[in-house]
Amino acid sequence: MKDALSVITDATKGFVIPLAQRREISERRMHEQLGDQCVYPKSKRLIRDIAAVNKYGARLIKADMDAMWFEIFGDTPTRNISTLALHREAFEAIDALMAGKAPAECAKELRELIAIAQEKLEEIEAEAGASNIANFKN
């Protein structure tokens, strides 16, 4: 059973079959791995516990994760996120909170806002970096 509050549930919605095929397991087994057997929340708890007793160790984990994220996203060009799309996501997140929607729905909307805001930030930083490089060459 998947947890409605889990980011993994949101991230894999509509993608369970291709994910199972990629991992060469059955769809049923994929659902099991994404449900109560999901390692993501367990990993987060473990990292928090490590950080509580060894901040340096947690920083090593963060560096490794940052390298993984760069490997995943590093050479991917950012989409051109419009201000309208960013505004729409912000509105949907705030509207869910103000309407008193279920915590799972509020969490989903807030995650979507964070994701698109992060992508917009990367776009702005990439433009600024290109501008700085152009200015440096001149």
Task: Please check whether residue 120 lies inside any domain of the structure.
Answer: yes
Residue 130 burial (10 A CB sphere; 0-12, 13-18, 19+): exposed
Q: How confident is the model at residue 4 (pLDDT cuts 50, 70, 90)?
A: low
Domain total of the chain: 1
For residue 131, the enclosing domain spans: 78-138
Q: Which tens digits make up the pLDDT trace of 93-121?
A: 999 999 999 998 999 899 999 989 988 98
Indicate yes or no: pTM above 0.75.
Answer: no
Task: Please check whether residue 39 lies inside any domain of the structure.
Answer: no
Task: Please check whether residue 56 lies inside any domain of the structure.
Answer: no
Task: Please check whether residue 23 lies inside any domain of the structure.
Answer: no
Task: Please check whether residue 33 lies inside any domain of the structure.
Answer: no
Phi, psi angle pair for 37, to nearest 5°: -95, 5
How many H-runs (helices) and E-runs (strands) does the chain carry? Answer: 7, 0
Please give the single-letter amino acid code of residue 93: A
Task: Please check whether residue 125 lies inside any domain of the structure.
Answer: yes
Vertex 60: Cα angle to 68 and 71 (nearest 5) = 10
Task: Please check whether residue 9 lies inside any domain of the structure.
Answer: no
Task: Please check whether residue 105 lies inside any domain of the structure.
Answer: yes
